[in-house]
Amino acid sequence: METRQGETDRRAVSNEASLNGARELTPVRVPSSCEPVQDAEYFKDKSLHRTLVESARAGIGFVEVESGRILYCNTAYARLFGLSCRDLSGRSLFEFLDAQQEKKLLREKEARLKGEGAEYELCILAADGSSRHLSATGSPVFAPDGHLRGTVHTIVDISERKRVEDALRESERRFRTTFEAAGVGMAHVSPDGSWLRINDKLCEISGYSREELLGLRFQDLTVPEELNASLERIGRMLAGKLGPYTVDRRYIRKDGSRVWVSLSVSLARKPSGEPDYFVCVAEDITERKVSELVPDPLSVREREVLLCLVEGLTNQQIARRLSYSSGTVKLEVQHILAKLGVKNRRQAVARAVDIGLTPPPLKLRSKLWRRPVRNRPTFLAGQKP
């Protein structure tokens, strides 16, 4: 608006200047008067403000609060709507919103009426029908009498970021479903051996509840005679000298029995390259391993007798319990010794427990077999195994 020859009302300049400061979320009060300035300086400033707004990569617009009408916008703002500045100016922001987004904008409108600035996300329907997710900032602009003239609206297209976030959420959902529904035991294990994340199948294999297992370390489940080999592999993997591997291992179940697993281990690293956690997949292969170690499988009767041997019963006690003759029990014991490749009953029990054929004797389960192994050595990256 021309007030004197060569001079323009500073209020217009104040509005344009406020556009450049929209991100500060500070209410802008339009001055009612201005100090005299040289014409050359004034036009220079006006050109600078306009250049700053027009060249901004973020969309900047001035929106009437009551109607949502877009009174001014720069090229970046209009481009996000798929229109030119000329075609977008004068149209209501509500034209580009669905019902849900319209409610969101109305809530933001109430905040502007209270003089509050805010940052929020908005999804618009562009002129070509595509959806665009925007990060929006609203800063109220007041007239000298305190009346809210409108809002400086700054918007940035975050559609790609939202797409990536949605893809990550979907990926996490699929992983979680696969992790929990897998027919094999799966776990994330920290470099010190603590269980970080486990699925139900691993609980089933180990015989522990999820809460109990999370309070242990993998060292507590590994049989003592195989622990050093496991730690040696882990140390090499943490040092970057060994990649993913698969090996047959025995775990000690909660009841003291031993279960064979085919264990696949890989190491997930942080972006910095530091070890983050191990990804472990454990498949129960006890039945297969027992078949390999005992090629001539035990009959049902022999298994019954073997369980009695584990309990420490004599031949006479076994005969009474199973309603067999003493001669039959003696013959079955001989078959068991031959099939397990041992010479006496004590060796038969030790062999059966060791290969996972039977649980250990009841009197030992609360001692040696069930005792979690504490203070075992662990290896972190850079340490020698």
Consecutive 10-residue averages of pLDDT for the chain (385 residues) = 40 40 40 41 60 83 89 93 94 93 85 76 93 91 84 93 93 89 94 95 96 94 93 94 95 92 96 95 94 91 92 92 92 93 91 86 49 44 40
Residue found by looking up tokens 């009174």 in the block: 71
Domain definitions of the chain by residue range: 2-162, 182-290, 296-354
Check if 2-162 and 182-290 are the same fold: yes
The Cα diameter of the chain in Å comes to: 128
CA-CA distance, 59 to 25, in Å (whole number)?
16
Question: Environment class of residue 194 by beta-carbon count within 10 Å: exposed (0-12), middle (13-18) or buried (19+)?
Answer: middle
Q: State the pLDDT at residue 147.
A: 82
In 170-244, which ranges are E strands?
185-189, 195-198
Query: Would you say 358 and 307 are in contact if contact means Cβ atoms under 8 Å apart?
Result: yes
Q: State the pLDDT at residue 55.
A: 76
Class of domain 296-354: mainly alpha
The 10 Å CB-count burial string (b at 16+, else e) for 363-382 is eebeeebbeeeeebebbeee
Q: State the pLDDT at residue 360.
A: 80
Q: Which pTM does this prediction carry?
A: 0.59
Q: State the pLDDT at residue 139.
A: 87
Domain 2-162, CATH homologous superfamily name and number: PAS domain (3.30.450.20)
The C-alpha angle 206, 211, 213, rounded to 5 degrees, equals 35
Q: Which fold has domain 182-290?
A: Beta-Lactamase (3.30.450)
